[in-house]
Every structure is written in C-alpha cells, then in structure tokens.
Amino acid sequence: MNQLKQFHGHALRHGTDFTKYLITKFLEIPNLNYARKVFDGTPHPPLFLYNKLIQAYSSRGPQSHCLPLYSQLLNQCLSPNPHSFTFLFAACARLSNPRQAQMLQAHFVKFGFGHDVYASTALVDMYAKMGLLRFARKVFDETSCKDTPTWNSLIAGYAKNGDLEVAFRLFSDMPSRNVISWTALISGYAQNGKYKEALEMYMEMQREGRVKANEVTIASVLPACANLGALEVGMRIESYARANGYFRNLFVKNAVLELYARCGVIEKAMGLFDEIGRDRNLCTWNTMIMGLAVHGKCHEALEMFEEMLRNGLIPDDVTFVGEILACTHGGLISKGRELFNSMETKYSITPKLEHYGCMVDLLGRAGLLQEAYELIKSMPMKPDSVVWGTLLGACSFHGNVELAEKAAESLFVLEPWNPGNYVILSNIYARAGKWDGVANMRKIMKGFNVTKAAGHSFIEEGGVIHKFIVEDKSHSRSNEVFRVLDCVTAEMRLGLVEIDLDLIFEELRFMELC
C-alpha cells in the first residue's frame, strides 16, 4: 500500500498518467476509498475505470455508490456497455429498490444490450433476488440466448420464495444442469422445511453421477439430514466433505455440528466443536448450546454460554433461545427469568416471540400457569398458536381447566382447522370429569368437520428415509415389520428385554406437552 502511494506521488510530481494502473491496483488490495480519490482526481475517466469502480462497489459495498457513478458516466457523455449493466444489476439486487431496478432495465433495453447473455442473466437474477418473480420470468421468456446460469437464476428465485413446484418444473425443463442447478433446488427444499424432498434430490444427484456436490451443496443438504434425523446419510456426507477438502469451509463444519447436535450424538458434536477450535463463530457456539439444551444437558449448556462470553463473543437472540431452553429442560426457573430479563438490560436484545414462547414453556412445565398466562398477556406482540399451544399443553399436564379454556379459545381463532387443540381440551375435560365439555368438543369438531389426521414419523434404514403412520401397512415389507414387532412384544411380556418404564413415561409426557 505504501509503495503504491509513493508511486502515485511520483506520478503526480512528474505529470505521468498511471491512473488506470493505480486504480486497478488499489481495488485489488482492496482500498476503495483511495481508489475513489484517485478516480475523482482524474479529469476525464474512461468507461473502463467507471466499470471497475461500479464493479468494486457492487461486490464489496456500499452498493448505493453505484448508481451515482452511472449517472456521472452518462453526464460525461459516455455510453455504458453490457459490463456496466451486469455490475449495476448486481448492486441493485442488494439494494432491493424496484423503482431503480425498472429504470436500469429501461436503459438496458434503450442501449440495445438484450442480446448479451451475461447482462440478461444479471437482470433475471436481480429481479429474482428481489422477489419480483413476475418481472424475472418475463425477462427470462424474452431472452433468446439463455444459458445454464440464466436458468439457475430463475430456479433459485422461485425456490427461495417458496414456489418449489415452478422451480422443479424449470429444473426438469433445463437443457443442461450443473452443480448450482441442483444446489438451488436442494437449498430451496431445505429452507422451506421440505427436508425429505431436499435429501431425495441430493441422493438423485448422487445416483445420476454427472455432477459432483460442492461445499454449498453439502451445507444445504446437511440441515435436511439433521431435521430428519438421517444420521447415517449425514455421516456419509461428512466423509465425502472431508475427502474432497470441503471441511475447510466453516459453513460445512457448522452444518455437520448441527447434524450431530440435533441427532443427540453429543460426544461426537463436542469432538467436532473442539476440532473447529479457533475458527468457531457465533453460529458454532449457538448450535452447540442448543444441542446441549435440547438433550437435557442444561448445566453444560449454561457453562458453555459463560465460556463463550469469556472468549469475547457477544450473544444474539438465538443464543438466548438455547439458554432459556436449557433452563426449561433443567427446571431452572430463577435462572431462566434472569437470562430473559438480561436480554434487554445487559445485551440490548429485544425479546422475540420465540423467547416468550420458551418462557411460557419454562413456567408452564413448573406449574406456574398463572404467571405464564400473565406473561402472555404482557407480550408486546400478538401471541401465536405456538405460545397458546404451549400453555394449553402445560394446562393439560397440570389439569388446569380454567386457563386451558382461555388458551383453547385463542387457538380456535388462530387455527380452527387444527384438530389437536380440540382433542387436548376434550382430554382435559375428561380428566376433570366434565363430560358436558367433552360432548361439546365432539359436537364442535363434527359441526366444523374437523377430523384428527394420523400422526406420522420418519425413520432411516439403509440410507433411505421411510415415512409411516400408526399401524401403517403401505410399506412393501410391512408383514415382516409387524412379525418382528410381535416377537419383540412377546419377549417384553416374558421379561426377556429390559425396559426403562420411567424413561418411556417421561418421553410420553414430553410428547404430550409438545
């Protein structure tokens, strides 16, 4: 940097024009501020330098500097080229200003650059990233020279915005696909909670064998494995990532950590946490804290929080979800209250709906139902079905009919289609001997034609995810499955298999609350 400044001073003293070289080098460092000073001191910068600066601001920011440079370019009677618009579209996508986007498109068409595939792809990508899919599709349909990145931009836009049917249709219609095409769809499924479809898409890509997964693909599919509990598949993906050098990527390492933490393989999670070492970011700490909290290691989760603070990291709202959850599973009411209150007073973090939900769960499990109800009423935002459902579950566990009716009343408004709420309230009435209430619930369900859908679960076997319901006989080998279950049941009755009944009842109680 100092050498470049000296060179710049020498050029100024001797009247030598090395502007192009200097600005290019300053942008490579990068030092945008100094590059801009050199640029502003140039009487008539050429289009090349305008494009270089616009590109630098577009990729590194602030993106708001791009459009004034473009206006300055036009005022200097220079004509932009397709590269100018490629960088401007990328900047506009980050600024997310529809009016500016349409103005740039009008200029793009006016200058006659619609034939340029790179600039046209950037235009599709701009509208897709802004969620303006109607405009993105129109540009896409009008572009005669589409290439794979053009298709990818539109697919990623639909996938990100949750329209996965259209994304899949486009994916199926593509003349050729690359790893970005597959990753866009896998990521879209995972981000929209369609974990089974995300994993199936990844496996299809592996079976087809034409495209090799990269670190972005890996980081996209592992959360699906974590949410499905597909530990075996996830471990194979981890081995693949390590073998191909992708484990240098922190996103990949954090995704594997989430897999182990969610699946309850806490020892392996802790081993990986230690392996990440100094590369840990806040996401790493939050994932480990959440894993410990969810799996009942509340004291370890709280200790990890203190260690995180000692390491100089500042907690965020996700950290506190994990910490309050740890208190919930450990029954640490005072500590939970302390953490919740410290969010605003100590860390300037405004509690969100999730934090209030965790506190309602903490108080509800401890039987402090009135306090939980008062907390709901004091919330600065409108309670959602999760918050009221948590209170209803706690009322069911502790047999509080009065508060259960209040919680259920709100739930019937928020989600009248959900049969679970009617069933839980009906069960509370039954336990309290209020048979009129039971009859009334059945009458309401019948009147609104509400029926309880069969619950389903996923199980992984041989690397394949299977979905099943109670007494499900749709599987091709269901007869064999039920024969094995009959054998296990018989052995249990004969006392040949040890069963921890306390653990089973505890799990059932937890499931009832959830």
Q: What is the pLDDT of residue 61?
A: 86
Nearest-CA neighbor of 174 among 203, 194, 158, 150?
Answer: 150
pLDDT in tens, the chain (514 residues): 555 555 445 454 444 445 776 777 767 787 888 888 888 888 889 999 999 999 999 999 899 999 999 999 999 999 999 999 999 999 999 998 899 999 999 999 999 998 899 999 999 999 999 999 999 999 999 998 899 999 999 999 999 999 999 999 999 999 999 999 999 999 999 999 999 999 999 999 999 999 999 999 999 999 999 999 999 999 999 999 999 999 999 999 999 999 999 999 999 999 999 999 999 999 999 999 999 999 989 999 999 999 999 999 999 999 999 999 999 999 999 999 999 999 999 999 999 999 999 999 999 999 999 999 999 999 999 999 999 999 999 999 999 999 999 999 999 999 988 888 989 999 999 999 999 888 988 888 876 665 555 555 656 555 566 666 666 666 677 777 777 777 777 777 766 555 544 444 444 444 443 3
Burial letters for 436-462: b for 16+ Cβ neighbours within 10 Å, e otherwise? ebbeebeeebeeeebeeeeeeeeebee
How many angstroms separate the CA atoms of 271 and 159, rounded?
Answer: 35
Q: Within 379-477, where are the H helices? A: 385-398, 401-414, 419-431, 435-447
Cβ atoms < 10 Å from Cβ of 282: 14
Query: 460 forms bridges with which residues in the sheet?
Result: 465
Query: 220 forms bridges with which residues in the sheet?
Result: none
Q: What is the pTM of this model?
A: 0.79
Q: What is the pLDDT of residue 16?
A: 45
How many angstroms separate the CA atoms of 457 and 195, rounded?
Answer: 13
Give, to the nearest 10 degrees, the angle between helix 419-431 and helix 435-447.
160
Q: What is the pLDDT of residue 8?
A: 46
Q: What is the pLDDT of residue 455?
A: 55
Nearest-CA neighbor of 254 among 238, 243, 239, 230?
Answer: 238
Nearest-CA neighbor of 400 among 422, 420, 377, 370?
Answer: 370
Q: Three-state DSSP class for 371?
A: helix
Q: What is the pLDDT of residue 9?
A: 53
